[in-house]
Amino acid sequence: MKEYDIVVLGGGPGGYVAAIKAAQLGAKTALIEKENVGGVCLNVGCIPTKTLLKSAKVYEDIMHSEKFGIDILDRSSININLDNLMKRKDSIVNKLTGGVKVLLKQNGVEVYNGYGEALDKNTLLVNGETLKTKNLIIATGSSTFIPNTKGLKEAFEKGYAITSTEALTMDKIPENFIVIGGGVVGVEFAALYNALGSKVTILQRSQILRSLDKDVREAMEKILRSKGINIVYGVDIEKYENNKVICKVNGEKKIYEGDKILISIGRTPNLKGIEKLNLKLDKKGIVTDEKLRTNIEGIYAIGDVNGKYMLAHVASAEGIAAVENIMGKEEKINYDKVPSCIYTFPEVGVVGLSEEEARERGHKVITSTFPMTANGKAMAEGETDGFVKIVADEQYGEVLGVHIIASHATDMIAEAVTTLELEGTVYDLAKAVHPHPTLSEVVMEAAHGAIGKPIHIFKK
């Protein structure tokens, strides 16, 4: 029987990061993972989707090459080699997961490949072997939520209904692609297959991307529709019949037919294997405090399984915080300063409070928006959709939230994250000299607009 200071159950971006950090801080550490290290994110989530999205973007740019002064005489000769797209995706995934395995080994983490079961707070069983630990970090992640809708099980069995995992391994680009759900994952896959040539329909009960600032939400809906994506609201699904979705739209019966139907209406925490611990749960997952502690001393829960934020970078940050708390430090995660990203065309990057949230919390708010159409780099790249919106407190100008739609919004948002972390103001952002020509100048211009007037658009 082996004994450890810390055992991490689950090897996703929360679990493997926690294990590496624990080993770096001198704890004898073990990691248990029943599949490949890297979890959903590296294997069937963040990385493979972004790899395919890049290919889709290249294809989209080629098909509109004339706007860059490049004429293609016969576009019918331009073909998508789906096999090679998938091979490139798999190659990148394998390199990254292989790199994680090497890092775990180099840092002295003992990895157990198998299904781990917690017998009590200090004892785990994996591959018939018993492990003892002083501390347990649960990082078991989440799975796609599948509703109990009539006919859906049969649609899955026949290959018509799919989850995001199967959407990454298709051998044929669907002519008609239906997305059930208008959250981040659904919208990203809608953008992906729309760019690859599918006719895409999003079926949604209410507004897509509901967690976003109203201005961002409405702008993204307009952009997606302009690209030919059909967004249908007021949808109440009654049943599935093979490749058909039978539903009511604002009370009127409708039937939508697709080669593939992506079910993307949320995720549910993976709680199997930890039932004997009697952890406190709520509808989101395992309940934890600001230090990632559960109701049982010595047990921590990070990532999707605690349901706070189902984002890979949050899981990693929580993993580090949990380990540091175990090792005697005092660490907390401020979830108001966590960025969220959407990898559509253009991208979305947000951090902090939306205008609505800031007002609800009692702030006297100032906002400023600067469009990408007035930015030289955006014009040069032919990517002028979008804007930067800053939400700030009127009294001192402290930045409360930044919301970006731009071709590189997911990279640009890091500046805003740092600003919020340092409790920076719009005066700081306006004063900071931004390089030219870059998309980042739009952040500076929006900050100037918050304290007076921007330079490169006329504001009365």
| Nearest alpha carbon to residue 296 among 123, 136, 130 | 136
Q: What angle do CA 332, 117, 23 make, to 5 degrees?
A: 45
Helix/strand/coil for 246: strand
N-to-C CA span, the chain: 74
Q: Which of 363, 403, 436, 456 is catalytic?
A: 436
Position 11, amino acid? G
Q: Phi and psi dihedrals of 342, rounded to 5?
A: -130, 125
Helix/strand/coil for 453: coil
Answer yes or no: 436 catalytic. yes
Containing 360, the helix (H) or strand (E) segment is helix 355-360
Q: How many whole angstroms from its chain centre is CA 143?
A: 14
| Nearest alpha carbon to residue 205 among 225, 182, 223, 228 | 182
Q: Please tell me the distance from the alpha carbon of residue 103 to that of residue 453, in angstroms, as a whole number.
A: 49
Determine contact, residues 194/228, Cβ cutoff 8 Å.
Answer: yes
Determine contact, residues 415/388, Cβ cutoff 8 Å.
Answer: no
> How many residues comprise the chain?
460
Position 210, amino acid? R
Catalytic residue numbers, as ranges? 436
